[in-house]
Amino acid sequence: MENIEKKAASCKRVHCLVLSYPAQGHINPLLQSGKRLEHKGLKVTLVTTYFISKSLHKDSSSPSTSIALEAISDGYDEGGSAQAKSIEAYLERFWQIGPRSLCELVEKMNGSGVPVDCIVYDSFLAWALDVAKKFGLVGDAFLTQSCVVDCIYYHVNKGLLKLPLPDNQLLLPGMPPLEPQDMPSFIYQLGSYPAIADMVVKYQFDNIDKADWVLCNTFYELGKEVIISFSKISLYPSLHM
């Protein structure tokens, strides 16, 4: 990210796409991150799905941000996930359509005088890194949940925390002793929303070790011990809070 910030200070503004999974709990953290990047001198474009973009309106009373809004297709442009028969069907089609639609957006912008230099993508949309690498762009994963939660999911992903959970207290690096019911519901109540559980436990970590940077939506002072231990055990190239 230092190289990007240095480039932003030069005559040409670095252009960063900030791609969010289409849900409020994901859009807001990525939008705030985009504002911080903009404050560093980067040009930022927030990208979400066509359906969600219709409900997002630029606040004309807040001229402090010039973040643009673009959209890609998830295959359900008129109704989003509610248009699909199930969340499993929604994710399957989004994963088919999304990468191609994102490629088309990058190509459009590259030909319009505002070429893309970097994609900061929601870790739920791991395929965005493949798109970034296809175009020779910097690709940065953004974990929208807290570092504590991500660390728990990472331990499950790597087999360091076995499922189903044992009945006794759980001891994880940097954390106090935890009861099974203290765990995120996706791993405490196995079988609840399996498609989403697979996404948070498996798929968001699929290629994250190939990202140029890994950004995490957390407060360092509130989880210092976890962050330090997580940085040591993970294979992330650069973990930034």
User: 43-49 and 68-72: which strand pairing?
Assistant: parallel
Is 14 within 8 Å of 4 (Cβ atoms)? yes
Active site residues per annotation:
26, 122
DSSP symbol at 10: S
Q: 3-class SS at 239? A: strand
Q: Which of 49, 47, 54 is nearest to 76 (CA)?
A: 49
How far from 86 is each of 23, 72, 91, 196, CA to CA, in Å? 16, 20, 9, 12
Side chain identity at residue 106, one-letter code: V
Neighbours of 127 (CB within 10 A): 18
As given in the structure block, the two tokens for residue 139 are 């690709």
Is 125 within 8 Å of 98 (Cβ atoms)? yes
Distance of CA 110 to the CA centre of its chain: 23
